[in-house]
Amino acid sequence: MQSAQDLYAYLGLKRTATPEDIRVTFRQTARRFHPDVNPDPQAHEEFKLLAQAYETLSDPLRRAQYDASFPADYRPLFSTVTVSSRGKLLRLPQPQIIYVLADISTQRLPTGPQPPLNLCLVIDRSTSMQGARLDQIKAAARQIVESLNESDIFSIVTFSDRAEVVLPAQPCANKPSIINKIGAIGAGGGTEILQGLLCGLLEIQRNISLRSVSHLILLTDGRTYGDEDDCLLLAMLAESDGITISGLGIGDEWNDAFMDTLTASTGGKSQYVASPAVVARLLSKQVRGLGDTLAKHVRLRTICDSGVKLKSAFRVAPDAQALAADNQPMSVGNLARQETISILFEFVVTATADEERPLARVWVIGDLLNRSQAKERLSIDLRLAQTDTPDNTPPHPNIVAALDKLTLYRLQEKAWADVEEGNIPRATQRLQTLASRLIATGQRELANIAINEATRLSQTRQLSAENRKRIKYGTRALIPPPKSTP
């Protein structure tokens, strides 16, 4: 694949821009991101890109050569729609919280063939998986094999206190042989995720390609001890190669905080599996979704303006997941055809005396599978008008819906943090408040779990690992994908 670097996009200009447009816009934009003015760690790199774009576009000869070399029929892959929690920013002396919801989708393109998959299952076969858990995972793996195309690359790794490559990466052609290998998997030993993760990523690396979707699915019911940091380092290396990691945690003994961090760093997702019986359904749905991928390795690079800080970022759709706002660029996974990735940004903003307040520039970066562009880019400039009088315009319904449900998710996060700090009364109160709000939204079953956990906590000062996960992943699942924005 070739990378089409749209130099006009760096300056936020159209290809028809006049020399004066280029000069004025460069001066304005360069002022925003000059390292002497903007303390954002990403500003230095952005300023360099701006200077390089201006160096070419401000020279008539070099601009003509660049225009001639750029694809005549080029269209940006990505399109975006943004809405904010306020129509205007009130000029106040103290910092204010502003939420921005960005919907990222793809332009209408001719339908192409499904991309080939480069898929690895990494299966925990420790002693605790013996019985129904491992049986259900093996049944799910057989279903996946039956659904794959012969051109798809498939591999299986199992691990306990050591790892074994049950099926080396290969085209999914001889399905009966693969199914026999799955049937021979047995349980025994401890749990060392690092061993399985390393072997699984090595199998994917053998067939990594810009035109295929590389994905590792980790299935475990236990905790790994002493190798978490090395696992997270492997995930960072996987992300740089465009490999996404997803995880299914079965039962209540696995470390959900670790799994969340591991998967989110690659743009993947973690899921809680209360019953082994639902493993097959969840895995089949996930693998089917990979076949619809149009753009892979989608990342967001956010450069805040001076006086603005990105406090948090949360992927609202297609799967709710907290993102590491301090880790730029943020990986948000793959984008399927006719799908939207929705990100809720939380900014801390200090107002200025200007009529308009620039907040940040967000770059959407990704690889299109059925087209000749890699690292396709689109920039979004987030801005708000400023006012000296309160703006009573109601926020967009999509923002309201996302924030209402996100508040529930964050409430349970704060409750668990209170428990860690030993503040049991405050944790209990938060769970009771959560239950009341869940009842108000019609989520009575989840509310009852929160009430029971609040009672248990106040009486025993102990948490139920199962209920904690049910509340966490239950409130996360409530976060709704935005409705189409006009």
pLDDT at 135: 93
**Domain of residue 154, residue span:** 117-290
Is there a single domain that holds both residue 125 and residue 200? yes
The answer, yes or no, to whether residue 373 has pLDDT greater than 70, is no
Q: For 55-64, 198-207, 389-398, which range has the lowest pLDDT when averaged over its residues? A: 389-398
4 pLDDT higher than 60: no
Side chain identity, residue 226: G
Lookup result for tokens 């760093």: 265
- In whole angstroms, how far apart are CA 227 and each of 158, 217, 251, 262? 17, 18, 21, 12
Shared-domain flag, residues 268 and 130: yes
Each residue of 177-215: pLDDT tens digit?
Answer: 999 999 999 999 888 999 999 999 999 999 998 889 999
Do 261 and 144 belong together in one domain?
A: yes
Q: What is the DSSP letter of 395?
A: P
pLDDT, position 102: 92
pLDDT digits (tens, 9 = 90+) for 436-456: 999 998 999 999 999 999 999
Average pLDDT over residues 157-175: 94
Q: Are strands 330-336 and 341-349 parallel, antiparallel or unpaired?
A: unpaired
pLDDT at residue 1, rounded to an integer: 35
Measured between alpha carbons, how far is residue 146 from residues 139, 150, 285, 454, 458 in Å?
11, 10, 14, 45, 50
* Residue 284 scores a pLDDT above 90: no
DSSP 2: B
Least confident of 101-110, 168-177, 182-191: 101-110
Q: Under DSSP, is residue 321 helix (H, G, I), strand (E, B) or coil?
A: strand
Give the mean pLDDT of 124-139: 93
* 139 within a domain of the structure (yes/no): yes
Q: Are 227 and 175 members of one domain?
A: yes
Phi, psi of 296, rounded to the nearest 5 degrees: -120, 165
pLDDT at 2: 39
Model confidence at 3: pLDDT above 60: no
Q: Are residues 180 and 234 in the same domain?
A: yes
pLDDT of residue 112: 66
Of the listed ranges 106-120, 139-153, 413-427, the least confidently predicted one is 106-120
Q: Tokens standing for 444?
A: 């009575």
Cα separations (Å) of 337 from 77, 153, 375?
12, 21, 18
3-state helix, strand, coil in the chain (%, to 5): 40, 25, 35
- The pLDDT value recorded for residue 108 is 61
- Do residue 139 and residue 276 come from a single domain? yes
CA 288 – CA 269 distance, rounded (Å): 15
What are the structure tokens assigned to 422, written together? 């030993």
Which CATH number belongs to the domain containing residue 258 in this structure? 3.40.50.410
Of 100, 88, 84, 92, the C-alpha closest to 391 is 88
Count of structural domains, the chain: 3
Q: What is the mean pLDDT of the chain?
A: 90
Of residues 306, 390, 314, the one with CA closest to residue 348: 306
Give pLDDT, residue 480: 65
At 110 the pLDDT is 58
> Environment class of residue 459 by beta-carbon count within 10 Å: exposed (0-12), middle (13-18) or buried (19+)?
exposed
Give me the mean pLDDT over the 326-348 stretch: 91
Are the C-beta atoms of residues 385 and 135 closer than 8 Å to each other? no
Instruction: Give the mean pLDDT of 262-281.
Output: 90
The verdict on residue 204 lying in a domain is yes
268: which DSSP letter?
Answer: -
Q: Residue 307 — pLDDT band, cuts 50, 70, 90?
A: very high
Domain end marker among 49, 74, 99:
74
Same-domain check for residues 4 and 125:
no
Query: Residue 118: pLDDT above 80?
Result: yes
- Contact between residue 463 and residue 433 where contact means Cβ atoms under 8 Å apart: no
Q: Are residues 149 and 221 in the same domain?
A: yes
pLDDT of residue 486: 44
Q: Following DSSP, what letter does each residue of 229-264 receive, concatenated?
A: HHHHHHHHHHHHTT-EEEEEEESS-S-HHHHHHHHH
